[in-house]
Structure 1
């Protein structure tokens, strides 16, 4: 936002120079982008009056003018098309020094133009460095005092300050808001614009209906009739507008823009004679058309708030008015409006149409919801002064239930001191908050306050917002520099838990690399990898490839494998620990932490002594079993044949912990391998992180000094019998001193009946305090063989 320093000083005039103000507001969080003078340096330029203007005898495009500086008359040759008798303009006398576009300067001397002497120069705005306008010489008001210094008359000894405001400080998008800030920072009094009510002289009103009161809870309007369309905007108002980056158009539009800059309330004026029926504030009907003030025709979307009459939309609420009902040079009667719009209903709408206006910029950030009537009164006062007319009553249409609620924030002195790292006196806290316009009321407890937030401060909602205001006004440079200290006791660690860091380190030690993939995936891919859950769709996805939330980590890992294989990386081992997002019957989303891994390519890295064997199911299962053993509770886990839409039907195992399903391990389905263009078998696992990391408490047992005893058994069992079931039965029947059951051979073929298989088991016993004798071992073997025969129909292989 640009503003004129001289305008600011009309409201608050601290005893600091321009740079002081710039430094203050920058340190207060209102960053200054640029400071530039209202005009470049020049001297000896006065208000001159053209007494006569005659055709140059030797040039068609030149005129010979007689110019008065109030005391003498001078002959000046001028080529401007608007030079005419009676015009008051900027006159650079002989000896005047003017700026040049390249930053240099030149001096005005007596000259001859086509054999006619010229004493000085009549200046355009760009020749004085006021603007880029070179359409003709300056045209000053008829009451401009001839002979007065042009710099003083136009207040050109001024600075234009450009402030880059953060989105939360919409209250400073006005000269009043900035003056309030400067007043607070300097403890200086602020002269706020008076709220003078203009008494109505006619009874005319225009009806207004709020169909969408949630988006527009307050709409204030006033009819003004019989204005003078020939009136001109006063010079002082033009200057303030132009120095704020706003072009002067006509008095009515200029007044609405002036009030916007002065108070921060966007306004609009309709040509009353072009309105029909009543004003209705509603959502647009999809496809309704409106020609805007800038001449472009747009089709309104259904989410756009519109100001309409009987003919349809006449303005985009909070953004821009329509051309058909705009004020023109023929306008005699106007309907002045000032409204409050919910910031949410305006935010992003202008950008969706490729627009950005001063109104939308303010409404998106929040406009004071109690400012509308005051803005109407101020605009009425200025309009009646400039264009005359007869004002009707101010009519307010409001839905109180939809207006923002007045806020109170609880503030504790102890919290202030804790966050600012020093003891700020209570009196200073109250004084700063009061200067900021906040209402401060002490509670019954010492050092606590209830703070009433004014309607223009949308950014203050919680206690730390108030503390930030205290720090800002007190001065960040004045806050003490302290090294933060904190008590950091050693955190208790549950020895039954395996940390996810341990899991990651174990996988890295096995040759895996950690991957981090997107939580959002393609909808089609989600269905291919999980038919149990319907993936949750995003309301506003970045792209079609990131349209739903993943219900398994596998799609991301497989896409990473695909990416690597496309770049000649044939051996890939990846893992990821992260969340999957599962829908429930209600509106809640279950976020479950899981660990997943992927294996593809050769078993060992390429080398002169390494084989070329490819990984298989048991490589993945072995890696997974090493993870399950981290918590010392590997015996609680088991693997059973399972089914999963993404895995090979014959190479899929469900992971159980104490009978409860906690994950899957298996080979990627051949159809998926083909669909994704993968060039080798892929093996995957995914397990619930909580189940994986829940271990058991370690216990100490002395190592036996006595030798182990081992016996080998070759059993013939049904080919569908799982070794895990046999292992459990053997451990149960082999006595308390069984130490290990090892499967060291599996055989099917010649000598083995069809549908059966041979399992070679190694059973190891060890007693802690003595050597086991043959009889004890033989008894244990007999018990095992008998139980296996009874339970599984097993027989010893001859």
Structure 2
């Protein structure tokens, strides 16, 4: 809502010198959202005056038509009473018209200085101005032609209200009354503790039987309807400058005087109006719901098929408007035009003014069905003062009589009954308990009275809510009014007292440990949105029956392309990898920990929870049961160089082994003992994919996979060649852990290291050999590391050599050579027995 400060001053006597920024600060403190304060015309200096065109000389011989005009500017001329000679290219004015003239010495917006200068072979003593040149509008099509009633030499800056400050206010849905100057003036008056001149306090005639006939069939959707008739309207009446300027500053385009008046009253009082051409109406006006198959051509020229729930304005022929949204084209007020044969003006001379009150929900649903948002519907959706309908109609009638020469018809139609004021019970100390501040009964009552409430009572207050505040529906709303008027800045800052707890849960601790470990290993955390589309699952190469294709579909997704909740973390991370690759980050290591959503299809329907009370434990349990399984997972992706190049040699590209080692790192942080076995699982390369298995309660389960992505997946998703990834179930790793993870102690005795190279069949996994060595070595084995894999001439075909480094240590003594040799030989013997391993060279 754009509110010119000069318009606000009409209703509130602000102190002289009060700036728009000062008013904005007060309104912000009162809870309104003032986005900007625009200063218009501050860069305009005079002389800028009204001029009357006396002569027009057409200059020829130039590429465009040029006119040399003599303009009477009154006493502002160079010689008192002498006309100014001005060059102008516009052609929308004639001799005798009043125009706006910038004389030498004036400065227009954009620091455009006006001076006398020779052009087109003549001396131009100023400039005849267009609206765009004065910063009033973007229209460059012609200069401003003023209506009669002004004298040459009048100050055009004051006449056109060129200097002003405009407050642009974002009105929240609960403060619909602020979509009017009346509402904003009330807030301004309250903020400055000044009286308000309410523009809705008008003398309204009593309804009678002589007005335009109106029949309302749906009183629930339209509880009031006022109709007034104005006859004798002059078709040639034009909108006065002051009214047009106020509309322009408020962001509304001038159309014609009757339409401008209805828009002006809507901005002033907040009640949308509609004007009908009485000559184009057939019979009385009706208000009813639409019937199946009905159509309506609205003012925007669109033929709309109506829904049975649409509320319509009708006459004897059928629909003539969508109630509260937009009128119909058949009964619109005609744009005035001059008859070329008689040179007389033609247009609407009899107008029926509609001022009604519609149900906000009905209007909101109509707007969404037709995708048709208007200035009127914005106000109806937020709530309009039902008691202002008669005043709004009277204000429009007064303006039509005063500005268009019309005659108010004595008939006044009013359908509906006066509303019953809403009352609320409010304990006097309720705002104190909400805010934690001792306001007291007198402060509470005074604050509520300032917003228009009537307050009675002592310990328990009876509060009558004003008709323009439909948002005040319960005691907390009233408490909020007290708090905001007394100042949010006066609320004390107090820290909440959390209940005693046990710190982080084991699940949270594991989440943090894994994140720190991956960050320490060179990965960058990249949280992604938990949404995906079918295209992403197709790109991963998942089979039709893959459980990851069973998704939870959102009713109202952020994007139609990603309507499902994710069942795997990989699509988001791989998309982030692709973006990094496209922006030149070729050596990338990303990770994410988060929830995935794995529905079984057997979840019960979610219950509808109550809104008037807290749900009980049974309702919450039913809601939890309806949710899909949500395991916490960790995923990582790698591409490019894992070890950078330098003077020490070339870099090493990331490969499947890095993904597997990262899985081992995560398992160590979880304290889980894992087994790495070859597997085939989308989206990984079938020959470079490892399954990570754990044992939980005696059952071997797959916790995830790691390896190089399938070439088809890399091509489909636009990833760099050789990209690798892993994804593990953190909850499953936690279940497989052997208790709390303990920090390693500092050893007191030295280690003993022995190497061994074992030759096994090429089909034997290194993990089986490692398991045998570990069990055979016993408790003295501290660690073992595979440091070489060899196949070649020195090893038989179909076999491979695996070289291991074994580190032995005892916690209470230095190992002897015999103890080390015994543990080493036992480890080799166990590997030979289980895997057929032979010591290389033996």
TM-score (normalised: structure 2): 0.64
What residue in structure 1 maps to residue 662 of structure 2? 623
What residue in structure 2 maps to residue 57 of structure 1? none
CA distance in 1, matches of 2:809, 2:747: 13
What residue in structure 1 maps to residue 274 of structure 2? 268
Conservation of the 8 A alpha-carbon contact between 2:38 and 2:167: yes
Equivalences for residues 450-465 of structure 1 within 5 A: 454=466, 456-457=468-469
Q: What is the Cα deviation at residue 550 of structure 1? A: 3.7
Q: 1:510 to 1:565 in 2, by over 3 A?
A: same
Match of 2:302, SS state, is: strand
2:297 to 284, 290, 298: 290
Q: What is the Cα deviation at residue 173 of structure 1? A: 3.0
CA distance in 1, matches of 2:71, 2:649: 102
What residue in structure 2 maps to residue 555 of structure 1? 571
Match of 2:171, SS state, is: coil
Q: What is the Cα deviation at residue 267 of structure 1? A: 1.0
Conservation of the 8 A alpha-carbon contact between 1:8 and 1:175: yes
What residue in structure 1 maps to residue 121 of structure 2? none
Q: What is the Cα-based RMSD across aligned positions, in Å?
A: 6.6
Q: What is the Cα deviation at residue 308 of structure 1? A: 5.6
CA distance in 2, matches of 1:281, 1:415: 44
Conservation of the 8 A alpha-carbon contact between 2:431 and 2:444: no
- Once the two structures are superposed, residues 733-776 of structure 1 have per-residue CA deviations (whole angstroms, 9 ceiling, x without a partner) of 887x4545747588999999999999888696847579799899
What residue in structure 1 maps to residue 409 of structure 2? 389
Matched, 1:256 2:265: no
1:687 to 725, 728, 735: 728
Return 5+ residue gaps in structure 1 as ranges.
Answer: 54-60, 68-73, 107-122
Q: What is the Cα deviation at residue 665 of structure 1? A: 1.9
What residue in structure 1 maps to residue 691 of structure 2? 653
Equivalences for residues 323-472 of structure 1 within 5 A: 323-328=329-334, 329-332=347-350, 334=352, 336-340=354-358, 342=360, 358-360=375-377, 362-363=379-380, 365-368=382-385, 371-372=388-389, 375-376=392-393, 379=396, 386-391=406-411, 393-396=413-416, 411-417=430-436, 424=439, 426-438=441-453, 454=466, 456-457=468-469, 469-470=481-482
Q: 1:441 to 1:614 in 2, by over 3 A?
A: farther
Match of 1:456, SS state, is: coil
Match of 1:393, SS state, is: strand
CA distance in 2, matches of 1:78, 1:760: 103
Q: What is the Cα deviation at residue 685 of structure 1? A: 0.9
What residue in structure 2 maps to residue 139 of structure 1? 148
Conservation of the 8 A alpha-carbon contact between 1:2 and 1:160: no
- Once the two structures are superposed, residues 289-312 of structure 1 have per-residue CA deviations (whole angstroms, 9 ceiling, x without a partner) of 6252xxx52354889967464867
Q: What is the Cα deviation at residue 524 of structure 1? A: 1.1
Match of 2:262, SS state, is: helix
- Once the two structures are superposed, residues 218-254 of structure 1 have per-residue CA deviations (whole angstroms, 9 ceiling, x without a partner) of 364345568334499899x984565444788777545
Q: 1:758 to 1:104 in 2, by over 3 A?
A: closer
| Greater CA drift, 511-520 or 296-305 | 296-305
Return 5+ residue gaps in structure 2 as ranges.
Answer: 29-33, 55-67, 75-80, 87-92, 116-127, 335-346, 607-626
Equivalences for residues 507-526 of structure 1 within 5 A: 507-521=518-532, 523-526=534-537
What residue in structure 1 maps to residue 61 of structure 2? none
CA distance in 2, matches of 1:469, 1:239: 35
Match of 1:507, SS state, is: helix
Q: 1:615 to 1:396 in 2, by over 3 A?
A: same
What residue in structure 2 maps to residue 199 of structure 1? 207
Q: What is the Cα deviation at residue 681 of structure 1? A: 2.4
CA distance in 1, matches of 2:164, 2:560: 48
Q: What is the Cα deviation at residue 435 of structure 1? A: 0.4
Match of 2:667, SS state, is: helix
CA distance in 2, matches of 1:584, 1:693: 22
Q: 1:428 to 1:755 in 2, by over 3 A?
A: same
Conservation of the 8 A alpha-carbon contact between 2:266 and 2:273: yes
What residue in structure 1 maps to residue 118 of structure 2? none
TM-score (normalised: structure 1): 0.67
Q: 1:434 to 1:194 in 2, by over 3 A?
A: same
Q: Figure out how many residues of one structure are paired with residues of the other and give that number.
A: 723
1:180 to 186, 189, 211: 186
- Once the two structures are superposed, residues 545-603 of structure 1 have per-residue CA deviations (whole angstroms, 9 ceiling, x without a partner) of 65655432322333344455567765433223345455564575666543211133455
- Once the two structures are superposed, residues 365-388 of structure 1 have per-residue CA deviations (whole angstroms, 9 ceiling, x without a partner) of 543456446545665677789522
What residue in structure 2 maps to residue 190 of structure 1? 196
Q: 1:99 to 1:535 in 2, by over 3 A?
A: farther
Match of 1:28, SS state, is: helix
What residue in structure 2 maps to residue 109 of structure 1? none
- Once the two structures are superposed, residues 134-186 of structure 1 have per-residue CA deviations (whole angstroms, 9 ceiling, x without a partner) of 77675349xxxx9xx999xx999998653211222432333322332233234
1:528 to 525, 539, 559: 539
Q: What is the Cα deviation at residue 456 of structure 1? A: 3.4
Q: 1:715 to 1:428 in 2, by over 3 A?
A: same
What residue in structure 1 maps to residue 614 of structure 2? none
CA distance in 2, matches of 1:368, 1:691: 60
Match of 1:574, SS state, is: strand
Matched, 1:727 2:771: yes
1:33 to 13, 33, 38: 38
CA distance in 2, matches of 1:412, 1:711: 78
CA distance in 1, matches of 2:751, 2:690: 40
Conservation of the 8 A alpha-carbon contact between 1:208 and 1:279: yes
- Once the two structures are superposed, residues 520-561 of structure 1 have per-residue CA deviations (whole angstroms, 9 ceiling, x without a partner) of 455312333354234556677777765655432322333344
What residue in structure 2 maps to residue 573 of structure 1? 589
Match of 1:266, SS state, is: coil
Conservation of the 8 A alpha-carbon contact between 1:223 and 1:333: no
Q: 1:394 to 1:607 in 2, by over 3 A?
A: same
CA distance in 2, matches of 1:174, 1:339: 16
Match of 2:408, SS state, is: coil
